[in-house]
Amino acid sequence: MGENGRLMDKRIKPLRVIKASVMFIEIDGWMAKLRFSACHFIPNHPKCGCLHGHTYAVSVRIEGEQNGEFIIDFEMVKNIVNRICDRLDHKVLIAEKDPRLRIDKKESVSIEIMESKKRYMLPLEDIMFLPTRSVSAEDICNYFCAEIAKELRSADNIKRVNVRVDEGIGQGAGCEFEM
Ligand SMILES: [Zn+2]
């Protein structure tokens, strides 16, 4: 039986439309240049306790339903992420809620790491204070995820925001917010 004969065979069920259960868009921070460079330290850590720098990349996955042709325009997401990256870029990141630090904010900021008995003096304009308890990749990621989710809260079709912050190439921390 030829090709046409097979297509006409009534025993073969017609194709059903399979509905997508989950749709998402993904943006890779390295490839799409959603990156920033910043300085930080992890108090009392044997290696990371000294002020040092990284290049970070922020990758985003947004889950939701299509609103017209898009879940959300890639450009809109990139603009949001870029604005947050710009706040942190070329700054010293300090976690404002870190219980291990004593921070004294004047024109120059004094940051004392109590247990290690270290003290940094930095100009205020060089610092980006984060509302977090540390400046680990995990806490930076949580900050990004919360800020991105805040910007997208009016979009009813978006269900989940997932962010990964890479601290250099090959390692990173991720988190997910339900909308
Ligand atoms: Zn580090």
Percent of the chain with pLDDT over 90: 82
For residue 41, the CA-to-ligand 1 centroid distance in Å is: 6
The answer on pLDDT for 52 being more than 50 is: yes
**pLDDT above 70: percentage of residues in the chain:** 92
The pLDDT assigned to 119 comes to: 93
* CA angle at 140 for the pair 134 and 143, rounded to the nearest 5°: 105
Q: Can you give the pLDDT at residue 1? A: 45
User: pLDDT at position 5, please?
Assistant: 52
Average pLDDT value over all residues in the chain? 92
Q: What is the pLDDT of residue 53?
A: 97
Chain centroid to CA 16: 38
Q: What integer is the mean pLDDT of 30-59?
A: 96
Instruction: Tell me which H or E stretch contains 54.
Output: strand 52-64
Whole-number Å distance, alpha carbon 76 to ligand 1 midpoint, is: 29
Asked if 162 and 61 touch (Cβ cutoff 8 Å), the reply is yes
Give the active site residues: 48, 90, 167
Q: Tell me, what's the pLDDT at 7? A: 54
Measured CA distances, 115 to 19, 44, 118, 127, 159 (Å): 57, 7, 8, 22, 42
**pLDDT tens, position by position, 85-106:** 999 999 999 999 999 999 999 8
In the chain, the domains with their CATH numbers are 20-93+126-178 (3.30.479.10)
Ligand 1 center to 47 CA (angstroms): 9
Residue 132 alpha carbon to ligand 1 centre in Å: 16
d(CA 97, CA 167): 21
98: left (phi over 0), alpha (psi -120 to 50) or beta: beta
**What is the Cα–Cα distance from 148 to 80, expressed in whole angstroms?**
7
Average pLDDT of the segment spanning 116-140: 95
Is the separation of the CB atoms in 88 and 54 below 8 Å? no
Average pLDDT for residues 124-143, to the nearest whole number?
97
- Name the one residue in this structure whose structure tokens are 């977090």: 132
Could you tell me the distance, in angstroms and rounded to a whole number, from the CA of residue 40 to the centre of ligand 1?
6
pLDDT value at 19 more than 80? no
Give residue 77's pLDDT.
98
Residue 134 has pLDDT above 60, yes or no: yes
Taking residues 153-163, what's their average pLDDT?
95
For residue 133, give the DSSP letter. S
